[in-house]
Amino acid sequence: MTKRKDSKLIHISDILGSALGRYRPARDMDMARIWDIWDCAVGRPVAMNAKPDAFKDGQLTVNVSSSAWIHQLKFLEREIIATLNKQMDKDIVRQIRFKIGKIHS
């Protein structure tokens, strides 16, 4: 934490969020938020096999460990979208594109 001249404490995340917000496009901030809530939003079994990779124009691209997981997640797509949007307090994810790719922790 840091002190202002008026002696109010400000958390460093507030400072960084404000500074980054000026220099990074909103979609980058949205992607960071999606990463933050992903595991909780989809649950541990899914999170171990699927991770967000990119976000642009309402489409979230998710890397998935196998074609079997892609098949399963297609059935859950609407539910995942609703959960993500609810946790983000805004309807920004409109579609999810699942593809086989590297799963980053």
pLDDT band, residue 10 (cuts 50/70/90): confident
- What CATH number is associated with residue 30? 3.30.300.180
Residue 47 belongs to some domain of the structure: yes
> Number of structural domains, the chain?
1
63-90: b or e for each residue (b if 16 or more CB lie within 10 Å)?
A: bbeeeebbebbeeebeebbebbeeebee
Residues 6+ apart with CB under 8 A from 50: 42, 62, 63, 64, 65, 69, 73, 98, 103
Residue 69 belongs to some domain of the structure: yes
Residue-wise pLDDT for 20-47, tens only, equals: 555 555 557 899 999 999 999 999 999 9
**pTM (global) more than 0.85:** no
Residue-wise pLDDT for 16-26, tens only, equals: 666 655 555 55
Residue 31 belongs to some domain of the structure: yes
